[in-house]
Amino acid sequence: RPSIVWFRDDLRLADNPALRAALDRGEPVIGLYVLDEDGPGIRPLGGAARWWLHHSLASLGERLRERGGTLVLRRGPADRIVSETVTDAAAGAVFWNRRYGGPEREVDAGLKAALRAGGIEVSSFAASLLFEPWTVRTGAGTPFSVFTPFWRACLALPGPRAPLAEPREVGGPHRAPASDSLDDWELLPTRPDWAKGLRETWEPGEPAARRRLREFLQEDLANYDRARDEPAAGATSLLSPRLRWGELSPHTVWHETVEAGAGGRFLSELGWREFAWHVLFHHPDLASRNLRPEFDAFPWPHLKPTHLAAWQRGRTGLALVDAGMKELWHTGYMHNRVRMVAASFLVKNLLIDWRRGEEWFWDTLVDADGANNPFNWQWVAGSGADAAPYFRIFNPQLQAKKFDPDGHYVREWAPEHLGEHPPDPLVDLGETRKAALAAYERVKSAS
């Protein structure tokens, strides 16, 4: 009776403990991916994420076939679909790598119990985080709410396990259950086809992810600490979508970085990813609720749709914000420094609720991540864990001077700002800053 490996946010063959366990069982292995768009509480993917997923699944399917395996694609609520596939395949075991979002954990726990009750072997594995969320605790036994002691505690634990080798064969004779065709899922945009810039920028899939990791470690890591904040420097790893989709495991990134020497600062960015996921684990509604409840008192003014649209399209009249929002629209990515500035402008100069910005990023980022995105939005808004203090408001003009002093980044994405008649700012930075601070008084008096 074959084993099923249920792939989720781990679209890779190397360092995949669920796949390894299925192979060790010694029976034929069937890969399964379920597109779950309507399971209870499951957040439907955004447009750019769907684009990435399509190509990453195509790559994974091809790699499994080359090794004698199969990738079965099915669509629908995961609990029903996985059970049906087990029956169709007459499978004896199901293996998966753990997920950490609230609704996902519920689905997985329910399924595990139901399958086991039916005599099916089920095992789940740690693969997507370096440290399991329940293993990192303060001295008092509570979860950390500040990054530095959190990361220190992580580093004091036994280090991340070494990555598992990529299997050469994944197969054995079996009768594969019926699969949907990837094209029928219509994950790619057609009318209009807005993905041209994504195609020009990215190559999804595990082989390209590994190449990028190697290239980053050889060519860019040495410059990382110095240049990581400069959006034109190309000094960061661009691994975020690869980690988001699990084309690389954090263990692989960790160990290869350590072998390449140095990298403490870079590794601590992986630490922020861990922190965001641990916070989500303890606060499953991170994308919808202020982590600090006193922020519920924030008097958001009535939404001005024209302001939101100007921000989304990169027409705010602030060079760095516009450049960032255009980079995002074109490539599905934005440099971290610019994400912070663009997010701060939305929340603290346009006084638009951080959730509207989070939703836009969710739809447009190829690395849109269930923890990192809401976590960082709340960090910028001041409502989150170890967040920037609300009153520290980025000035987008000063940020541009500091981090893009020669205007290389703005020239690439928003050259209209460097012409003779640059656009006017949508709002006055000084006045809106004052209004934001006045609104914040309500939060202070609620705390």
Binding site for ligand FAD (CB under 6 A): 228, 236-240, 243-244, 269-270, 272-273, 276, 336, 339-340, 343, 361, 365, 367-369, 372-373, 376-377, 380
- 3-state SS class at 73: strand
- 3-state SS class at 291: coil
Q: Does the annotation mark 300 as catalytic?
A: yes
- Check 194, 336, 359, 412 and give the catalytic one: 336
Q: How far apart are CA 251 and CA 257, in angstroms?
A: 10
Q: Nearest 5°: phi and psi at 5?
A: -105, 115
Q: Does the annotation mark 354 as catalytic?
A: yes
Nearer to ligand FAD, 201 or 336 (CB): 336
Residue 12: how many CB atoms within 10 A of its CB? 27
Q: Does the annotation mark 272 as catalytic?
A: yes
C-beta of 220: minimal distance to ligand FAD in Å? Answer: 9
- Check 84, 132, 300, 441 and give the catalytic one: 300
- Check 106, 269, 359, 416 and give the catalytic one: 269
- Check 277, 377, 379, 413 and give the catalytic one: 377
Distances (CA, A) of 289 to 98, 312, 331, 344, 347: 24, 22, 29, 18, 15
C-beta of 38: minimal distance to ligand FAD in Å? Answer: 22
Q: Does the annotation mark 377 as catalytic?
A: yes
Exposure letters 136-169 (e unless 16+ CB within 10 A, then b):
beeeeeebbbebeebbebbeeeeebeebbebbee
Taking a C-beta distance cutoff of 8 angstroms, is the pair 352, 303 a contact? yes
Q: How far apart are CA 33 and CA 16, in angstroms?
A: 15
Q: How far apart are CA 200 and CA 195, in angstroms?
A: 9
C-beta of 387: minimal distance to ligand FAD in Å? Answer: 11
Nearer to ligand FAD, 79 or 369 (CB): 369
Count Cα neighbours of 340 within 13 Å in the Cβ-side half-sphere.
17
- Check 354, 360, 379, 413 and give the catalytic one: 354
C-beta of 28: minimal distance to ligand FAD in Å? Answer: 34
Which amino acid, residue 420? E
C-beta of 178: minimal distance to ligand FAD in Å? Answer: 34
C-beta of 265: minimal distance to ligand FAD in Å? Answer: 9
Q: What is the DSSP letter of 48?
A: H
Q: How far apart are CA 106 and CA 100, in angstroms?
A: 10
- Helices H, strands E: what count in the chain? 19, 5
Nearer to ligand FAD, 35 or 270 (CB): 270
Nearer to ligand FAD, 145 or 336 (CB): 336
The distance in angstroms from the start CA to the end CA of the chain is: 59
Nearer to ligand FAD, 45 or 380 (CB): 380
Exposure letters 286-300 (e unless 16+ CB within 10 A, then b):
bbebbbbeebebbee
Nearer to ligand FAD, 310 or 343 (CB): 343
Nearer to ligand FAD, 3 or 290 (CB): 290
Q: How far apart are CA 18 and CA 9, in angstroms?
A: 12
Q: Does the annotation mark 194 as catalytic?
A: no
Nearer to ligand FAD, 182 or 325 (CB): 325
C-beta of 318: minimal distance to ligand FAD in Å? Answer: 16
Which residues, at least 6 apart from 108, have a Cβ–Cβ distance to it below 8 Å? Answer: 96, 98, 99, 124
C-beta of 32: minimal distance to ligand FAD in Å? Answer: 25
Query: H or E element: which one contains 75?
Result: strand 71-75
Q: Any idea which residues carry the catalytic annotation?
A: 269, 272, 300, 336, 354, 377
